Amino acid sequence: MLMHSSASLAAAAELNAPSSLRAKAASGDAAAQLSLAMALRDGKGAEKNDAEAMQWAHKAADQGHAGAMDFIGFAYLRGAVVKRNPEVAFGYFKAAADESSQAAFNLGQCYFGAQGTAQDCTRALEWWVKAADQGHGRAAATAAMAYHAGEGIPRDAVKARRLAERAAELNNPAGLVFLGELQFQAGEFEAAKASWIRASKLLPTQATGHPSQPSDNASAQQAADLLRIMNYRQRKGEPGKFAHVPMPHILQGYNNCGSTACATFARFQGSEICGWDFKKLCPSPLGTGTDWGHLLDASAKIGQKWKLTTFTPDEEGFEKATAMLRSELDDGRPVVVDFKYIGPQYPNGSAGHTLSVCGYIAEEDLYILCNPAVATPGLQLITAADLKDFWRSDHYGALSKGVLSRPAFVIDRS
Amino acid sequence: MKPIASTFLALLAFFGGQADAADSAKPNILLIFADDVGWGDAGCYGATLVKTPNIDRLAREGQRFVNGHASAAVCTPTRYSLITGQYSWRHQAEGLNKGVAKGDAPLLIPTTMTTAPGLLKQAGYRTALIGKWHLGFGLTKPDFNQELRPGPLETGFDEYFGLPATNDRIPVVFVRDHRVVGLDPADPIRYSYDAAEAKAQGMSPWAAGRNRIGWGTGGKAAWWKDTEIAETLVRESVQFIERSKEKPFFLLYAPHNVHAPAIPGPRFAGSSGLTPRADMLQELDACIGELLQTLDRLGLTKNTLILYSSDNGAYVIDEKGHKPGGPFRGKKSQLWEGGHRVPFVVRWPARIQPGVSADLVSTLDMPATICAAAGITLPKGSLPDSYNLLPAMLGEKDAPKRDHLILMSGNGDLAIRSGHLKYVPDLSLADGWYANKKKSATARNLPGLYDLAKDSGETQNLLPGRSAEGQHLADLLARDQASMVTRP
């Protein structure tokens, strides 16, 4: 009665003709029903129709198809096709997690990010490891990062390395990126290079990436970025030419970029705090965005001295902002910034994101980000043009009151 | 103005203080009601192969009754009596005078009935049921997509969280108060307990990873995980105690342990080295330990009355050397002792002296007993078959005791116990759900009389030799059946 996701993928590959897919789905074939639901959701091979996609997914799920339950759960988690409901999403993942490694991965995400359930990082790791055992590369990579950072669980470098190697075995781009990072940090430069080359060849890459691309593509791009800055990371900075401030690698949970970026910033300054612990110093619940005012208050609670500075969103403001950035980076200090992504792929048309800038390469007009992004945490390159475009925010905190500006946290040296 | 205001404040403080003092004298009541746990399923009742340190602690610090009985040999009737203090067989309804409630049963307790939780609530208690219900919802077949009303909240509980029926029955979802938890409205619960109807509607007995009793579709986001039921129920219970600690509370904690399917949580799988059921027993013990620790941590141990028992005997006789029924004959659903003889422990450090008692006691007596502990005078006619055992538990001189008790099989057949004697009107029915009618034809209609002081294994039928004593018990049974109230 139950089908594994690999079987459904095989079925999906066979059934690329929409009419035969429809016929097979209508005859009650659960794998075909799910394939049709995917086609309808993504508008690939069929005209996009979210409502019908959900109907077919429910039919397959009623037959006990774990992949279909995961599909429905993900729709509720994202809130893109149906109204977001993390509790219901959590329920579907839980119902499917024993049979679907993707659902097990998502269930881990829910436990880690307090989505539809109380946070339970230990259980999150259990599910990720289980999914990794079943061949889920991203689950292995995510678990590796959690053990490395000690995010919500005790740090365990051995488990982190083993899981990163498992993710690499499974050819997961994020896993290869992270394994490369571990290798780089251990001084195994050739091995790191090999891991990143492998990752960068898994999917097409460009000169620099864009946040709207799918996460696996973003990982391949990240690997290409890491190869590009590999030499810079091994050299001493040259003021005015390039700078790179080494940052710790930590893992973000769902909707926890602000606290994670701030925890990374604090760790850079010698704190031991993790993203979740930073979040817990703020009044907003886990799994929700964090006001920058609360982040600043939290930094004071752990003895950090930061200040909030803003620049105008225009050309002149960007000039001043980047001058400040380069000056800070030349002096060996990263800067926390807030981005606004605009596009139809985001619920409500836009999304905010908090991250750090930890380097620049003047001659290529590139900046190095330390990005807590869910799928691709770590270093990434961004062009000055994209930085100008994204480093703007009108909702970073109560302080912004809807006024667009370029906000930043810098270390207060007064 | 100023003096008036301060007088008013002083008065408030005075009355406020009075109310607090009165409330603090009332004990908290924690009734732990396990599922299918037999008399021999704990170290304090002689088990050596399963480890139950927390139940043993309760027994060591409280009173352990060796002659305790569930009022029936199956779940629903016993649970009905636990709440209403009335013999369930007085009602002509499936699940009360025979069998157990089907998964689609309406509420089996009339909402007009006086119940122990209702009386406690009136007396200022915060009342909750966390765990198994299995007494139905609504006035007809319940619709799990709508409000499940009336249900536990209409029978005296302020809060309810738990399993609607058993862990092997569809739908496999938790209910909080009147609603299924985490239900996706786009995936409604459809279910049936009628094979033909289920087949016609394409329903499946498969839910949350295994086949269950009943058929259904939908509700998948709300499915529980069998391995997480125990921890969920104990977590909810701890939270209830924490948020109720300021006023007296009554918590009926009704874990699913150790009902089939025996699926312990991962921490306990394999822990006993025996069977999954034995693992689940150790899980139950750990859950009880967590509740005891919570009471310790909150400083509530001294004035909390804990009662521990089970809804009927075990459904197995031997588990790799472990004897869930102890030395007794039979198992769940049967009139033999193994069907209804259950562990029965009370602990109340403030008032009950530790010890062991051979008094005849029943789960049926818990309602009147806990009401007495709360200082409640029972309204006339309420909890009609429930004896107040508190005076005896407190060691009061000349305390009234139960002199006889009616027992019920899983098929609704009755037997009676008085003193050391037990009378079974029809031996062919004593095997309950396991009765083999062909095989027992020779015994059909023959009554049985056993002396449990000398023959705990019920091997020697004293009839027809001691027929006068048999007749006396038969008369007593008929008398109680005909009366509405049996509490003296």
Q: How many residues comprise chain B?
A: 488
pLDDT band at A342 (very low <50, low <70, confident <90, very high): confident
Instruction: Check if the beta carbon of residue A224 is closer than 8 Å to that of residue A200.
Output: yes
pLDDT digit string (tens) for B342-368? Answer: 999 999 999 999 999 999 999 999 999
Tell me: do A259 and A210 sit in the same domain: no
The one-letter code for the residue type at A347 is P
Residue A97: give the domain boundaries.
5-133
B184 and A61: CB-CB below 8 Å? no
Structure tokens at B344: 């029965």
Looking at residue B443, its pLDDT comes to 61
| Domain residue limits, chain B | 25-185+220-403, 406-482
pLDDT of residue B395: 94
Give every strand in the sheet of B190-192, ordered side by side.
B190-192, B210-217, B204-207
If one counts every other C-beta atom within 10 angstroms of the C-beta of residue B17, the result is: 10
- pLDDT of A212 > 70? The answer is yes
pLDDT at residue B440, rounded to an integer:
56
Does A27 lie in the same domain as A167?
Answer: no
Q: A102 with A48, same domain? A: yes
Cross-strand pairs, A349: none
B306 or A47, which is more confident? B306
Residue B21 predicted with pLDDT over 60: no
**Residues on chain A touching B171 (C-beta within 8 angstroms):** none
Provide the pLDDT confidence category of residue B3 given band limits of 50, 70 and 90.
very low
At B225 the pLDDT is 95
Q: Is the pLDDT of residue A124 over 80?
A: yes
- Among B182, B184, B206, beta carbon nearest to A64: B206
Q: Give yes or no: residues A178 and A230 share one domain.
A: yes
Q: Which residues contact A30 (CB under 8 A, 6 or more apart)?
A: A3, A59, A60, A63, A64, A65, A68
Residues in B closer than 8 angstroms to A95, CB to CB, are: 208, 220-221, 223
At residue B7, the pLDDT reads 41
The answer on A271 and A213 residing in a single domain is no
| Span B445-464, pLDDT tens digits | 799 999 999 999 999 999 99
Q: In angstroms, rounded to a whole number, what is the distance separating the alpha carbons of residues B134 and B291? A: 23
B189-203, pLDDT tens digit by residue? 999 999 999 999 999
Bridge-based pairing of strands B28-34 and B249-254 is parallel
Closest-CA distance, A87 to chain B, in angstroms, reads 6
Residue numbers in B near A54 (CB within 8 A): 186
| Separation of alpha carbons B323 and B308, rounded Å | 19
How many CB atoms sit inside 10 A of residue B287's CB? 25
> Which pLDDT tens digit goes with each residue over A252-299?
878 889 999 999 999 999 999 999 999 999 999 998 889 999 999 999
The CATH number covering residue A253 comes to 3.90.70.10
Mean pLDDT across B199-215: 93
Q: How confident is the model at residue B2 (pLDDT cuts 50, 70, 90)?
A: very low
pLDDT, tens digit, 9 for 90 and up, residues A32-41:
999 999 999 9
Does B70 score more than 70 pLDDT? yes
Q: Are residues A229 and A264 in the same domain?
A: no
Distance of residue A89 Cα from the nearest chain B Cα, in angstroms: 7
Decide if pLDDT at B1 tops 60. Answer: no
Determine, for residues B182 and A61 on separate chains, whether the beta-carbon distance falls below 8 Å. no
Res. B242: pLDDT tops 80: yes
pLDDT of amino acid A384: 96
A125/A246 same-domain check: no
Q: What is the CATH number of domain B25-185+220-403?
A: 3.40.720.10
Give me the residue from A54, A82, A92 closest to B220, CB to CB. Answer: A92
Answer whether the bond into residue A239 is a cis peptide, omega within 30°: no
**For B344, phi and psi rounded to 5 degrees?**
-155, 105
Residue A45 has a pLDDT of 85
B317-334: average pLDDT:
96
Determine whether the interchain pair B184/A1 forms a contact, defined as Cβ–Cβ distance below 8 Å. Answer: no
CA distances from A190 to A104, A180, A232, B331, B432 (A): 34, 9, 15, 69, 75
pLDDT confidence of residue A73: 97
Same domain, A243 and A382: yes
B448-451 and B421-424 as β-strands: parallel, antiparallel, unpaired? Answer: antiparallel
Show which of A177, A199, A234 is a domain's final residue.
Answer: A234
Is the pLDDT confidence value at B271 over 90? yes
- Asked if residue A116 and residue A34 are part of one domain, the reply reads yes
End residue of a domain, out of A75, A101, A133: A133
pLDDT at B259: 97
Confidence of residue A111 (pLDDT cuts 50, 70, 90): very high
The distance of Cα B427 from the centroid of its chain, to the nearest Å, equals 26
Non-local CB neighbours of B269 within 8 Å, separated by 6+ positions: B227, B276, B279
Please indicate, yes or no, whether residues A247 and A216 belong to a single structural domain of this protein.
no
Helix (H, G, I), strand (E, B) or coil at B29: strand
The stretch A292-308 carries a mean pLDDT of 96
Q: How far apart are CA A106 and CA A127, in angstroms?
A: 9
- For residue B382, is pLDDT > 90? yes
Which pLDDT does position B437 carry in this prediction? 65
Phi and psi, residue A413, nearest 5° = -100, 10
User: pLDDT grade, residue A94 (50/70/90)?
Assistant: very high
Strands (E), B43-188: 63-65, 68-69, 126-131, 159-162, 175-176, 179-180
Among candidate residues A92, A108, A133, the one where a domain is terminated: A133
Say if the Cβ atoms of A61 and B209 lie within 8 Å.
Answer: no
In terms of Cα–Cα distance, which of A159, A208, A170 is closest to A380? A208
How many Å apart are CA A354 and CA A260, to the nearest integer?
Answer: 9
Output the six-digit token pair for B56.
């043993």
pTM: 0.86
Tokens linked to A305: 């001295």
Contacts of B16 (CB under 8 A, 6+ apart): none
Greatest C-alpha distance within chain B: 92
Which tens digit of pLDDT belongs to each residue from A360-405? 999 999 999 999 887 788 999 999 999 999 999 998 988 888 899 9
* AA identity, residue A38: M
pLDDT over threshold 60, residue A9: no
Q: Answer yes or no: are the C-beta atoms of A278 and A262 closer than 8 Å.
A: yes
The dihedral sign for the CA sequence B82, B83, B88, B90:
positive
Inter-chain residue contact B220 with A95, CB threshold 8 Å: yes
pLDDT of residue A10: 47
Domains held by chain A: number: 3
Cβ(B314)–Cβ(B325) below 8 Å: yes
Average pLDDT over residues A132-149: 95
CATH number belonging to domain B406-482: 3.30.1120
State the pLDDT at residue B441.
55
Which residue among B182, B220, B222 sits closest to A61, beta carbon to beta carbon?
B220
In A, residues 75-94, which contact B (CB 8 Å cutoff)?
76, 82, 85, 87-92, 94
Q: Which two tokens stand for residue B289?
A: 């330990």
Span B398-421, average pLDDT: 96
pLDDT of B79 > 60? The answer is yes
Contact B221 A62 (CB under 8 A): no
Q: At CB < 8 Å, which residues of chain B contact A?
A: 182-184, 186-187, 204, 206, 208-209, 217-218, 220-223, 225
**Nearest Cα to B302, choosing from B117, B61, B65, B128?**
B61
Q: Which residue has the higher pLDDT, A1 or B375?
A: B375
Spell out the residues 6+ positions from residue B73 whose beta carbon is closer than 8 angstroms to its own: B312, B313, B332, B333, B334, B335, B339, B340, B407, B408, B409, B410, B432
**Closest residue on chain A to B217 (Cα):** A62
pLDDT digits over A222-258, tens only? 999 999 999 999 999 999 999 999 998 878 878 889 9
Beta bridge partner(s), residue B462? none
Candidates A94, A120, A122, partner chain B, best to mutate (most B CBs within 10 A):
A94
Peptide bond into B248 cis (omega under 30): no
For residues A202 and A312, state if they share a domain: no
According to the model, what pLDDT value does residue A215 have? 85
Cβ-based neighbour number of residue B139 at 10 Å = 11
Q: Are residues A241 and A331 in the same domain?
A: yes
For residue A385, the number of C-alpha atoms closer than 13 Å in the C-beta half-sphere is 5
- Tell me the chain B residues in contact with residue A65 when contact means C-beta distances shorter than 8 Å: none
